[in-house]
Amino acid sequence: MKAAVLSFPGSNCDADLLWAIRDICGEEAEMVAANHTDLSGFDLVLVPGGFSYGDYLRSGAIAKFAPVMTALKAFADAGGYVIGICNGFQILTEAGLLPGALQWNQSLQFICEPEPLVVANNQTAFSTAYRADQTITLPIAHGEGNYYADPATLAALEANGQVVFRYAHNPNGSLNDIAGVTNARGNVLGMMPHPERAVEALLGGTDGLGVFQSLIHATKGATTVAAN
């Protein structure tokens, strides 16, 4: 399995993701800059957290125009697995790769704390390493993590099992306690909590490993996606 970790100006969790995949999980991974236009040869693309382009205008609003995003859309359209974490989730919604939007936390404050989550669907490529309804704890660190979707979209997400993670104690006002959702096809996930910050006991816990273990299992059962 070969993973690409995208890196935008302002990304600050790209090295963490690279470490989680390469050094903790033992898989091949490399950093791919935002000005690259080719993602061929990769099985998985990870869009990291941080403050892409300084979060000017709106989180993810400028990053969606980066050259690599055209390649990312083609990669996802071809069935490649994509995960966006925190700012990466915001980028994926801005780019139209995921439904809904992330708005300011209900408190209008930046929140940085460990947060208990419930695995709402353990039958996705991102969650098979967990038990159904398992409670896990992952760190959150965001100011705009309040998930919103119109009623019809929200109903479709629920009906299709696209809600993968929910907050056990909603910290930011997200509708239906949503912490992570997939696209309808199930190959793109966005989540606000940071699994890459919970892959070593030294850092306080290993509950995030399941996300990466699930993805590695899924990608090793698929052929490499070419997306030029």
**What tokens appear for 4 in the block?**
């690409």
Catalytic residue, from 27, 115, 144, 196: name it. Answer: 196
CATH superfamily of 2-220: Class I glutamine amidotransferase (GATase) domain (3.40.50.880)
Range 184-213 average pLDDT = 97
Please list, in sequence order, all residues whose beta carbon lies within 8 angstroms of the beta carbon of residue 58, skipping any fewer than 6 positions away: 94, 144
Catalytic site residue 112? no
The string of pLDDT tens digits covering residues 3-52 is 999 999 999 999 999 999 999 999 999 999 999 999 999 999 999 999 99
The string of pLDDT tens digits covering residues 132-160 is 999 999 999 999 999 999 999 999 999 99
Q: How confident is the model at residue 222 (pLDDT cuts 50, 70, 90)?
A: low
CB-CB contact of 175 with 148 (8 Å): yes
Range 178-187 average pLDDT = 98
Range 103-119 average pLDDT = 97
| CA dist., res. 122 & res. 219, Å (int) | 16
The string of pLDDT tens digits covering residues 28-42 is 999 999 999 999 999
pLDDT value of position 227: 34
| CA dist., res. 101 & res. 36, Å (int) | 26
Spell out the domain ranges in the chain. 2-220
Any alpha helices (H) in the chain, and if so which ranges?
14-18, 67-77, 87-94, 151-159, 209-220
Catalytic residue, from 13, 115, 144, 194: name it. Answer: 194
| CA dist., res. 117 & res. 113, Å (int) | 12
| CA dist., res. 178 & res. 126, Å (int) | 15
Catalytic residue, from 13, 86, 115, 144: name it. Answer: 86
3-state secondary structure at position 2: strand
pLDDT value of position 221: 77
* Total residue count of the chain as it appears in this document: 228
Catalytic site residue 30? no
Catalytic site residue 28? no
Neighbours of 217 (CB within 10 A): 13
The string of pLDDT tens digits covering residues 57-106 is 999 999 999 999 999 999 999 999 999 999 999 999 999 999 999 999 99
| CA dist., res. 15 & res. 148, Å (int) | 29
Residue 225 has pLDDT above 50, yes or no: no
